[in-house]
Structure 1
Amino acid sequence: MKVVKLSINNTKVLSYYLRATRRHWVLFAITLVSVLLTSVLPLVAPIYYKQFFDLITETTPLAHDFRTLLTPIIIAFAINFMIFILWRTEAFAAQYLESKIMRDLKRSAFSRLLGHSHNFFNNNFVGSLVQKVGRYARGFERVVDSFIFDIFPIILKVAFTLVALYFLEMNIFWMFVGYVFFFVSSQYLFSSWKLKYDVDVAEQDSKVTGVMADAIANHTTIQSFARRDFEESRFEDVTQTQFKMLLHSWNLDEYLRTFHNLLGIVAEVLFFTFGLLAWQKGAFSVGSFVLVQTYIFYINNALWGLGRVFRNLYSAVGDAKEMVDILELPYEVEDSVKENIGDVQKGEVLFDNISFRHEKGRAIFKGFNLSIKSGEKLALVGHSGSGKSTLVKLLFRFYDVDKGAVLIDGIPVRELSLESVRKAVSYVPQDPALFHRSLLENIRYGKLDASEKEVRVAAKLAHCEEFINNLPQGYETLVGERGVKLSGGERQRVAIARAILKNAPILVLDEATSSLDSESESYIQDALDHLMKGKTTIVIAHRLSTISKMDRIVVMQEGQIVEDGSHETLLTKRGGLYKKLWKLQAGGFIS
């Protein structure tokens, strides 16, 4: 089992955003056309201002009638009114476009995350993953804003300005070309070089979020060990690193911004000096001064904004790269489309000569074999680390075996869809995690279309009603994150009710009564007996008193079966491990 690490380039990030945009091409086209017109039209109006000023400076007041003088002004005002309408169209279309695509990106990222393996979530902070999804979606907004509202208009403005100057004021055209080229190339090279710092800042931000989420999730442990100062110190360390990285990144931006401001001032002085010299020679009119001054204003605003645009664009790409890394990461456990198991009829389980090891860890199983008949009730016993829980995870295909095969009803689970495998098994873990939803929703999770009556029947069988009826909001009570508002025993009873409602042909109980007191355990044992009827049942137990009625007990040690038989048979085996554990435990727990 290997973890694959990827290094995603900028083009790959942008390709994800482009694919998301294509699905809404009509909105995108409306936005793009609106931006095109609002970028070009403000540069058309100054041409009519030039005509107006040339008319009033090159002739006497009576040389033209009022209508002739007013015509260019009316046209310029009409253009400005069109710009106002187009700005509103552009804004509404862009907001609708971005909100829809951000929704789609979050959905696709969430779906991809849920498909990753058990091992993936063991190796990643949950808080960090949530942060990456949010930054991935918000990054799209920033990228689209940068391209549509900044880069695209800047290109149009610069292109139109240069074309207009080429035909109207050739004397100053090449100076504009040199200024634009030097400004844009220096900005692009700097932003490309600085990208690595933006990526580092994004990664550190994820680390800060992960450390914070980890501490908050374990607040009870922090308080019980009086480790508040330790955790605050640890958080101060990661935030101090983040502060230094952010400050360095922002200072680099300021150095470039200072350089470009000086460059703009020098360029404006040169333009005016050249224009003044040309005016003295009669090659430059007052209208030309107005036109050039207007274009200098537009070009400088556009180019000075370009620095911010590049910084924002590369920062957004840096934010998104972490999530795109995950989106590109192949699943460790690939779903199969070969066959769908449908409703399992028998529930036979076979571990056929399997071998498995965790990444960079010792081998858990090597040539392991275990057959469980349909309807058989089997208990797995052994010291911690003997492989009991891992065996269940392999049955669920949380991991894939390295060699051999796990089969349900004679079909290898690799050849079955993950959904069909997991629908065939009900699982009650040692420490059930509940959703921060109502008790009704948590129990109904076992069967989403269950009626409220079915939920109540399952809850009654699991003895949940004893505590639910005492809650002010009853079944509508929110249980808190991971079910923290309930006791361990109450959470296990909810998990048992959920399994009863699911009613799958294979049942796995991983220390399902370990958090119950003796009275509650006696109640639930009846429910479990009812639940196990006609089902293939695998019980993982440290408390041996709960498994004495099993059809078969398998004793495991270091990934191998060392004993196999009924409770009575194993107790008669001289020197047997089960007999030794039974005597040592005397109704307690195996260490």
Structure 2
Amino acid sequence: MKNYTRQTYKIFWNHAKRYKLVLFVMIIGLILANLAEVYAPIWYKRLIDLVSSNQADKFDQGVRIVIFAWLTHMMAWLFWRINTFVNNYFQPRVMADLLNTCFKYLQLHSFTFFSNNFAGSLVKKTTRYERSFENIADQMYWHIGQTVIRFLLIFAVMWWVNVLFALILAVWVALYFYLHLKFTNFKLKYDIQKAELDSKMSGFLADTITNNLNIKFFGGYKRESKSFADLNEKHYKIRKWTWDLAAMAEAGQSFMMVALELLLLYVALRLWRTGAVTVGDFVLIQVYLSQLFGRLWELGRYIRQIYESLADAEEMTEILVAPHEIQDLPGAAQLRVEKGEIDFKSITFGYYENTNTFKKFDFKIRAGERVALVGPSGGGKTTIVKLLLRFHDLDKGEISIDGQDISKITQESLRANIALVPQEPILFHRGLMENIRYARPNATDQEVIKAAKLAHAHEFISSFPDGYDTYVGERGIKLSGGERQRVAIARAILKDAPIFILDEATSSLDSESELFIQDALRNLMKGKTTIVVAHRLSTIMQMDRIVVIEKGKIIEEGKHEELVKAKQGIYQKLWKIQAGGFAE
């Protein structure tokens, strides 16, 4: 298991250092506030020494000491207020920047990445990342940073009172920090395990909530409940163990603090006997120990919280440092489509190592040609679409559009020139107007409505109380499959790209809707290079060319009339099955 602590700190620091002036003000403010609070007990020491001398005639001097003590506290109050308001700008600003970074980098990961990760887990990793920064920044600034500054100032005063006090304090603090760091490093691996189990539980919850209907249909309630309970039990055990470790650490630090206090008091007594320290020095030592112990008692917890936050951030850091699987080349050109000719040149590709979906595969689509891809499931039809969209990179070979290698152009310009209607459209939980307009953000309302009418989506949209402002639910769940496909078709119509891909785009439509949409699609395909992936052969009879693909190879190709006459042909068999006959 790789540790990403250093990378996490680096990412956090790179975002924080954008605000150098703010950081400078915060650090100076922290030093001045602590300086005031450390200096205040010196006034108390002087007051105690004055009172213990039984010199009543020095009353006015005592009043002046009280006034100066009050002014010192007011200075500390002022600096703390400044620090608080400056920090209220700094932390939320950096957290917002981190969220933007996570969002942008996450979205640029590949199709494979999102296929291999639960949406719920990714969301939790992202939101946990900004909270991790908040927690670490809090501990570093308000607690650990303040403790270090407070110790250095107290050490300086102790040195002024008596060098021996300062040396004892320095040795004790060094030992205290050393033991805590060793212990927290030991505990870190368990914190990381807890965070990983937390993500697994989130992913499991997201998966089962998404598949709630399947759980009901297949009687999986008890099975899934047991699986979740087993995972939850593992999470309970690792959580309890990390909490037990924290309790052990607190017991150890309590013992060390009592030992230091007794040792300093014993040394002070011996020095008092020789007249080396005053009664006021006892008060000073006790106040400083109280200040220091208050900080150090929680310091172990603060350090543990930092490591826990680092563990929480670990998984997102791993995502942020992982190179994107599909990347634009430096200086990649913009795709310019003038004709729309597509050429697959001797491509080799496999989803897994040592397996090839395609091997030295050649396939050319002429400009403006309407091509249908058919064949048995798993033959490679949808893979052709994914490769054209560059959701995966080839192992060998080249795919070009109008002679431009798609691996040498920007992904954004490539996909801007392709309109896709997938088999299972996924919509944003936004209004229907915004979902359709997503294809062309600058489109007018009238253009959106026109596209919806061509896709025969306007009819059902108009029936909703909120019309085009109707929110469709997560992934478009509030709409039927056919309604989602019509919205996706409207989106593709609005995009009006030179290359048009339909991946089983009418599979969820009833016969009447399909009849209407086929007419709209015929108009849409005019002058565009079109690829249609279909199992329902009735939808592709008018294509310029039908290509039958099986096991990554072109088995047959031609027009519908030609292929249905081919004896023992795959297309002929598929046609007979769908037309109501039986394959021989």
Structure 2 residue 2 is the aligned partner of structure 1 residue 7: yes
Deviation at 1:412, TM superposition (A): 0.6
Structure 2 gap ranges (5+): none
Aligned to 1:94: 87
Q: Deviations over 1:308-337 (max 9, x none)?
A: 111011111111111111001011111234
CA RMSD of aligned residues (A): 1.6
Taking the aligned partners of 1:51 and 1:150, their CA distance within structure 2 comes to 29
Residue aligned with 1:515, SS: coil
Letter in 2 for 1:153: Q
Residue 38 of structure 1 is matched in structure 2 by 33
**CA deviation digits over 1:385-436, x for unaligned, max 9?**
0000011000000001100011111111001100010011100011111111
TM superposition shift of 1:8: 4.3
Cα separation, 2, equivalents of 1:318 and 1:36: 30
* Match of residue 293, structure 1, among 286, 295, 299: 286
Match of 1:444 in 2: 437
Q: Determine helix, strand or coil for the equivalent of 1:23.
A: helix
Instruction: Verify: 1:57 aligned to 2:89, yes or no.
Output: no
| More off after superposition, 417-426 vs 85-94 | 85-94
Q: Deviations along 1:129-183, whole A, 9 cap, x unmatched? A: 1111111111111111111111111111111111111121224222212221221
1:274, 1:159 → 2: CA distance?
21
Equivalents in 2 of 1:589, 1:217: separation in Å? 38
Instruction: Identify which of 134, 157, 162 aligns with 1:141.
Output: 134
Whole-angstrom CA distance in 2 between matches of 1:434 and 1:181 = 58
Aligned to 2:425: 432
Written as runs of structure 1 = structure 2, the 5 A alignment for 1:59-458 is: 59-62=54-57, 64=58, 66-360=59-353, 362-458=355-451
Residue identity in the other structure for 2:326: V
- Give the TM-score taking structure 2 as reference length: 0.97
Cα gap change, 1:589/1:297 in structure 2, threshold over 3 Å: closer, same or farther?
farther
Give the Å deviation of 1:240: 1.4
Paired residue type of 2:105: R
Counterparts of 2:399 and 2:278 in 1: how far apart (Å)? 87
CA distance in 2, matches of 1:548, 1:128: 44
State how far apart, in whole Å, the 1-side matches of 2:446 and 2:416 are: 22
Cα drift, residue 271 of structure 1: 1.9
Distance 1:204 1:339 in 2: 41
User: Is the 2:335–2:404 Cα contact (8 Å) retained in structure 1?
Assistant: no
- CA offsets per residue over residues 499-542 of structure 1, 9 Å max, x none? 00000000100111110111111111111111111100000010
Could you tell which deviates more after superposition, 574-583 or 183-192? 574-583
User: How far has the Cα of 1:58 moved from its partner?
Assistant: 2.8
More divergent stretch after superposition (27-36 vs 476-485): 27-36
Aligned equivalents of 1:272, 1:339: Cα separation in 2 = 72
Structure 1 distance, partners of 2:330, 2:78, is 52
Distance 1:198 1:190 in 2: 12
Corresponding pairs, count = 583
Q: Which moved more, 1:6-15 or 1:380-389?
A: 6-15
Larger CA deviation: 525-534 vs 163-172: 163-172
Moved more, 440-449 or 214-223: 214-223
Alignment of 1:512-527 (within 5 A): 512-527=505-520
Question: Given that residues 436 and 487 in structure 2 are in contact (C-alpha distance below 8 angstroms), is that contact kept between their aligned partners in structure 1?
Answer: yes
Work out whether 1:485 is the aligned partner of 2:462: no
2:31 equivalent to 1:16 = no
Superposition TM-score, scaled by structure 1 size: 0.96
Range that drifts further, 457-466 or 87-96: 87-96
Distance 2:330 2:295 in 1: 53
Q: Give distance in 1, aligned partners of 2:23 and 2:581.
A: 67
Q: Secondary structure at the match of 2:205?
A: helix
Q: Where in structure 2 are the equivalents of 1:499-578 lying within 5 Å?
A: 499-578=492-571
Secondary structure, aligned partner of 1:406: strand
- What is aligned with 1:3? none
Q: Pick the aligned partner of 1:25 from 7, 20, 26.
A: 20
* Structure 2 residue identity aligned to 1:552: R
Q: Please state how far the C-alpha of 1:544 moved relative to its aligned partner.
A: 0.8
C-alpha displacement of 1:225: 1.9
Look up the match of 2:454: 461
Assess if the C-alpha contact under 8 Å between 1:543 and 1:589 holds in 2.
Answer: no
Q: CA 1:533–1:24 in structure 2 vs 1: closer, same or farther (change >3 Å)?
A: same
- Secondary structure (helix, strand or coil) at the match of 1:150 reads helix
Q: Distance in 2 between matches of 1:370 and 1:567?
A: 19
